[in-house]
Amino acid sequence: MGLFKEFKEFIMKGNVLDLAVAVIIGGAFGKVVTSLVNDVIMPPIGLLLGKVDFKQLKLVIQGGKEAVMNGAQVVTPAVSEVSINYGMFVQNIIDFVLIGFCIFIVLKAYQKVTMKKEEAPAPPPAPTNEEVLLAEIRDILKSKN
């Protein structure tokens, strides 16, 4: 029963809950950025590059073949196309760069807010009684010389 209690305490800590919320929001944010890239950014770029759909850009290494049939009997089975889909790779790179940029902007804003809080210097501490007495003794000794 102690293990269950420790696990419950661990889960109920604020950091774990904050992390769970961040993961959920991050997943949703990733979907939004992917949609932005796929549905808003890439179509105009494809249009400028000659009406190209980036999802369809690929380098075919081996062409596919349809199955050859003799009635219901398969004479030659179908062969799938082998290709390098570099268009999807380009879209994923753009996704990554946009997400990275957005995270960078959020972190910069967070750092500005935290730096402003840290910039306010604390007032210097008042001298202790010993320091005040030592300063008075010093001044008296100076005046006697």
CATH topology assigned to domain 2-123: 1.10.1200
Q: Where are the domains of the chain?
A: 2-123
CA angle centred on 118, ends 113 and 120, rounded to 5°: 110
| Cβ atoms 16, 10 nearer than 8 A | yes
Query: Over the stretch 96-109, which tens digit does the pLDDT of each residue have?
Result: 888 888 788 888 88
Q: Residue 1 pLDDT more than 70?
A: no
- pTM, entire model: 0.51
The residues near 53 (Cβ < 8 Å, ≥ 6 apart) are 46, 87
- Phi (first) and psi of residue 57, to 5 degrees: -70, 125
Residue 118 is predicted with a pLDDT of 63
